[in-house]
Amino acid sequence: MTSQDAGPFLYVIVCAAGIAAGVTGLIGAARDRGWEVGVIATPVAMGGFFDTAAVEELTGRPIRSAWRSPADPRPFPPPDAVVVAPATFNTVNKWAAGLADTLAVGTLCEAAGAGVPIAVLPCVADALAAHPAYRESLVRLRGMGVRFGDPHAGPSGEDGGRPGFAWESALDLLTHPRDDQGPGRTQVSAGPASVPPVQGDRPRGIQ
């Protein structure tokens, strides 16, 4: 465990998509780059979409899914950055609309408002990605400085027709935002040596 003032600390937000089973690879890569990690999952994702025991062993922290009571201490330090992977149609749209009905979406709303760098790896079926509400959500979130990786609609086929889910690209987006991301946020390092504070201090209101 790290103290509240240690860093850098990465929130990994996991949504309910089949590809979520591979999130341990992202966590391992983040730790290799010097990040401490805390995982927040949507309530549906907690229902067997990934190995919760393996994630808690790897991070050394409990997975969060529900709001804490006012009397409970904050279980994670404030984030230096956030990764949403996989990000689903439902979560992206609720986040863009400001519908903070889960801890995961509420955390995203607060982190974006606090200027915390956020990288998103969408996993949305092609038919859903064509919906105008989803397209409008991407425009709004990019306008807020959120950084998106390439879209992914499901597992890659044996013929190699669809690329695999690029987990580590989310960490790269935190360090090197792509030119097509729209307005940027404060950049963070891939390791602990030179992570700058966000807006003068790490946000204290999150969670």
The pLDDT assigned to 205 comes to 55
CATH code of domain 9-66+76-181: 3.40.50.1950
3-state SS, the chain, equals CCCCCCCCEEEEEECCCHHHHHHHHHHHHHHHCCCEEEEEECCCCCCCCCCHHHHHHHHCCCCECCCCCCCCCCCCCCCCEEEEEEECHHHHHHHHHCCCCCHHHHHHHHHHHCCCCEEEEEECCHHHHCCHHHHHHHHHHHHCCCEECCCECCCCCCCCCCCCCCCCHHHHHHHCCCHHHCCCCCCCCCCCCCCCCCCCCCCCCCC
Q: Tokens representing 159?
A: 């013929």
pLDDT at 159: 47
Q: Where are the domains of the chain?
A: 9-66+76-181
Q: Rounded distance, CA 144 to CA 15, Å?
A: 21
**pLDDT tens per residue across all 207 residues of the chain:** 444 445 699 999 999 999 999 999 999 999 999 999 999 999 999 999 999 999 999 999 999 999 999 899 989 999 999 999 999 999 999 999 999 999 999 999 999 999 999 999 999 999 999 999 999 999 999 999 999 999 888 765 554 445 689 999 999 999 887 655 543 333 333 444 334 333 334 445 566
